[in-house]
């Protein structure tokens, strides 16, 4: 029954994947739909409109696969940056790991599990066999065959650690090479100084000028003091919104769209000429913007971007204590100007501390509340519970196909729908923690989503039932291996279905961009909102990387327990490699570059997965009455932690800052560069808050009528 439900889930997802591939192949041949599948091509002006009907364009093809496969890593690096290369290396690394795992798990461990007699199942009745017959649970207690599983755990750990080391070394060298070949960027020459001490009779700008001119006379170049502009940012946001409404009204073909009610959402208030109403309102807002911009120039905050003549000088100032009091003149590397997140510069230390505390509490509450959908999902996997909760569905639930869909497909689908909103919530939490760069916000959200996913998808499902509520069990660490050894194998069916549902389907739907298409349709045809300001999306690393790493955790922990999950994971990583190469080349464009700083998160997650596998192995060998194997597994997590400690000392510093050798070499190369002088001049205003720049939409009808997409293309 369980195996039939799993096959039903696989069949449904294969059909959905085929549908997505077919629709995507059609859309790839329809340039008019480029907004759905290739925003990057539209922004770069590479989309061509074809008016003549051509039947061949409507037939699905796999030509996009070869186009996604063909570009080299160097071309991907030049096209999408180092972060995109690191993202694709996750798929490559995972494919290597699970190719080895499939060979060992399917061809060695799976037959051993199936030939066991512990569950007393008919060996030749394959259609009606439970999935547990393919797990280690079916191996006889005390059997010498368990030593093969023991050896596989050791060998698999060695292979994963070797591949992790090779990948860490490769990405580290790529990071150094990328820096050495890069053009000068403002963040390489600039530091952020916070907690600038206030001086009576002098502004923050004068204090910064005096301090750095005195202590860095040869290398100090310029500075820009941050201004308090939170109110101004809100006004500019409102003016941009009104400007877009005016553009839509100017381009409207029907006069009736120009008239409406001036109140809330156009439902209340007197009926007015919206064009005249919005123009007057925009003029008022822009007057307020200009007044606020003038007053904001004097609202300095105790923070400043300080630029130096060389990268080495900036790096030295970052890592040295500037003042006698370590709480003043606090320095940190500056983000790139396009990466700066401005709202929290004006926040005090107390506000940032309270915000961090609130975020921690909110994350805990969200994690606890998410147990509700987890329990609902686990109820769907047991028909007897559903019959008790909903007795009127008893007849329907006893239909074979319905029961197979409910137990094999629906639970993971429901869980995936609940998880859909989590990344956005974590981005919101991270944005109020006081980070000054959007890349820092995304990295923080990535870590939050990862551990939230591991707990609520893996542990909450594995420990659902009595174990989840018996908190006292976890107060005795010696009981944890035995608990996991009992609970983890029992959820193999659910996690295989989850890989197929969440992995295959969501990865295939990434091609079609279904959510973007539906949102755009609702926005244009129901809400009647037209956003002519075209914006190319960026890769949502904070939501995609945790999903990839969760599947890695499932594969590593179930490697020797239930090897049947491994082929499904290998298919997922192969699909993901092709699909995301296409998306990075044709759909997404990087908004900022971190230089591959997300890889340490991947490394730490893999180490955690290995240690979790070791803990489960210790418990499972003990339950299988093979205490010697259980004892001999104990050194394995210790050795893994030693390996991780070495990797952190060997590679992690290269992801935090660049070496003196690299910085001085780069500075010497540019000493005779004629363009470096003009670059130094641009540094003076590179970190000016965009809210303080002049913005004028009203009073210029030509600018209102001009299409925004055309402006975006010129800027690009």
List, for residues 101-134, the tens digit of each pLDDT value. Answer: 999 999 999 999 888 776 655 544 444 456 777 8
**β-pair partners for 222:** 307
> Which of 425, 422, 313 lies closest to 373 in space, CA to CA?
422
pLDDT class of 68 with cuts at 50, 70, 90: confident
Q: Which residues, including other chains, have CB under 8 Å from residue 257's CB and lie 6 or more apart?
A: 249, 274
Angle in degrees, CA 430, 431, 433, rounded to 5: 65
Looking at residue 398, its pLDDT comes to: 56
DSSP 140: P
DSSP 459: I
List, for residues 473-529, the tens digit of each pLDDT value. Answer: 555 566 677 777 777 777 777 788 788 777 777 777 777 776 677 777 666 665 555
Is the Cβ–Cβ distance between 206 and 688 less than 8 Å? no
Burial classification of residue 324, based on how many CB atoms lie within 10 Å of its CB (0-12 exposed, 13-18 middle, 19 or more buried):
exposed
Looking at residue 523, its pLDDT comes to: 66
Both ends of the chain: CA-CA distance in Å?
Answer: 57
* Percent share of the chain, pLDDT over 90: 27
Looking at residue 118, its pLDDT comes to: 66
Lowest mean pLDDT among 117-121, 332-336, 505-509, 623-627: 117-121
- Can you spell out the DSSP letters for 1-18? -HHHHHHHHHHHHHHHHH
pLDDT class of 585 with cuts at 50, 70, 90: confident
Pull the structure tokens for residue 392: 């009127």
pTM for this prediction: 0.80
Pull the structure tokens for residue 29: 């041949």
List, for residues 409-464, the tens digit of each pLDDT value. Answer: 566 666 777 778 888 899 989 888 878 889 999 999 999 999 998 988 888 777 76
Angle in degrees, CA 43, 48, 50, rounded to 5: 145
Is the Cβ–Cβ distance between 306 and 191 less than 8 Å? yes
Residue 294: CB atoms within 10 Å? 10
Is the Cβ–Cβ distance between 305 and 332 less than 8 Å? no
Q: Which helix (H) or strand (E) holds 488?
A: none
Q: How far apart are CA 389 and CA 445, in angstroms?
A: 37
List, for residues 348-375, the tens digit of each pLDDT value. Answer: 667 778 888 899 899 888 888 887 777 6
Mean pLDDT of 527-555: 79
Looking at residue 601, its pLDDT comes to: 94
Pairing of strands 190-194, 330-333: antiparallel
Over 60: is that where the pLDDT of 1 sits?
A: no
Domain ranges for the chain, please list them.
Answer: 3-184+350-657, 186-349+668-685
């Amino acid at each position: 029954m369980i195996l039939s439900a799993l096959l039903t889930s696989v069949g449904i997802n294969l059909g959905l994947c085929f549908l997505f591939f077919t629709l995507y192949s059609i859309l790839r041949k329809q340039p008019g739909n480029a907004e759905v599948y290739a925003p990057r091509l539209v922004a770069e002006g590479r989309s061509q409109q074809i008016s003549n009907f051509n039947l061949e364009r409507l037939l699905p093809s796999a030509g996009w696969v070869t186009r996604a496969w063909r570009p080299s890593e160097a071309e991907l690096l030049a096209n999408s940056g180092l972060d995109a290369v690191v993202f694709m290396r996750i798929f490559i690394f995972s494919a290597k790991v699970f190719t080895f795992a499939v060979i060992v798990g399917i061809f060695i461990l799976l037959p051993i599990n199936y030939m066991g007699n512990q569950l007393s199942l008919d060996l030749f009745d394959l259609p009606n066999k439970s999935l547990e017959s393919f797990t280690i649970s079916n191996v006889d207690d005390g059997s010498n065959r368990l030593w093969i599983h023991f050896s596989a755990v050791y060998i698999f750990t060695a292979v994963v650690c070797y591949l992790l080391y090779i990948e860490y070394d490769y990405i580290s060298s790529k990071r150094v090479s990328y820096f050495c070949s890069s053009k000068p960027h403002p963040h390489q020459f600039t530091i952020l100084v916070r907690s600038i001490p206030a001086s009576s009779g002098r502004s923050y700008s004068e204090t910064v000028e005096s301090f750095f001119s005195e202590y860095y006379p040869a290398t100090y170049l310029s500075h820009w003091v941050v201004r308090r502009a939170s109110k101004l940012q809100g006004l500019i946001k409102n003016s941009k919104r009104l400007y877009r409404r005016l553009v839509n009204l100017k381009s409207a073909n029907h006069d009736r769209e120009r008239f409406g009610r001036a109140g809330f959402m156009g439902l209340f208030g007197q009926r007015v000429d919206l064009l005249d109403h919005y123009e007057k309102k925009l003029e008022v807002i822009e007057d307020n913007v200009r007044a606020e911009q003038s007053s904001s120039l004097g609202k300095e905050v105790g923070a400043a971007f300080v630029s130096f003549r060389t990268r080495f000088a900036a790096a030295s100032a970052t890592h040295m204590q500037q003042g006698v009091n370590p709480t003043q003149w606090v320095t940190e590397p500056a983000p790139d100007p396009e990466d700066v997140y401005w709202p929290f510069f004006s926040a005090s230390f107390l506000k940032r501390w309270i915000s961090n505390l609130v975020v921690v509490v909110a994350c805990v509450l969200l994690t606890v509340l998410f147990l509700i959908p987890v329990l609902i999902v686990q109820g769907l996997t047991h028909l007897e519970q559903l019959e008790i909760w909903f007795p009127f569905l008893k007849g329907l639930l006893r239909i074979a196909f319905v029961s197979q869909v409910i137990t094999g497909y629906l639970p993971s689908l429901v869980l995936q729908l609940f998880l859909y909103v989590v990344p956005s919530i974590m981005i919101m939490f991270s944005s109020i923690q006081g980070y000054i760069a959007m890349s820092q916000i995304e990295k923080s959200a990535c870590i939050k989503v990862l551990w939230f996913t591991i707990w609520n998808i893996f542990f909450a499902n594995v420990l659902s039932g009595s174990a989840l509520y018996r908190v006292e069990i976890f107060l005795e660490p010696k009981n944890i291996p035995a608990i996991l050894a009992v609970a983890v194998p029992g959820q193999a069916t659910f996690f295989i279905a989850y890989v197929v549902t969440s992995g295959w389907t969501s990865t295939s739907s990434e091609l079609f961009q279904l959510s973007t298409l539906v949102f755009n349709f609702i926005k244009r045809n129901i809400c009647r909102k037209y956003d002519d300001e075209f914006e190319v999306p960026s890769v949502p690393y904070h939501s995609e990387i945790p999903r990839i790493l969760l599947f890695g955790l499932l594969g590593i922990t179930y490697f020797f327990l239930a090897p049947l999950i491994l082929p499904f994971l290998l298919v997922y990583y192969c699909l993901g490699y092709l699909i995301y190469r296409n998306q990075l080349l044709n759909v997404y464009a990087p908004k900022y570059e971190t230089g591959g700083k997300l890889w340490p998160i991947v490394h730490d997650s893999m180490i955690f997965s290995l240690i979790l596998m070791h803990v489960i192995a210790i418990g499972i060998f003990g339950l299988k009455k093979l205490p010697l194997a259980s004892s001999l597994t104990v050194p394995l997590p210790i050795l893994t932690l030693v390996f991780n400690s070495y990797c952190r000392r060997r590679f992690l510093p290269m992801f935090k800052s660049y070496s003196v050798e690299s910085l001085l070499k780069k500075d010497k190369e540019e000493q005779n560069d004629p363009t470096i002088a003009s670059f130094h001049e641009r540094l003076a205003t590179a970190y000016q808050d965009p809210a303080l720049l002049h913005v004028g939409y009203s009073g210029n009808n030509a600018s209102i009528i001009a299409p925004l997409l055309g402006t975006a293309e010129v800027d690009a």
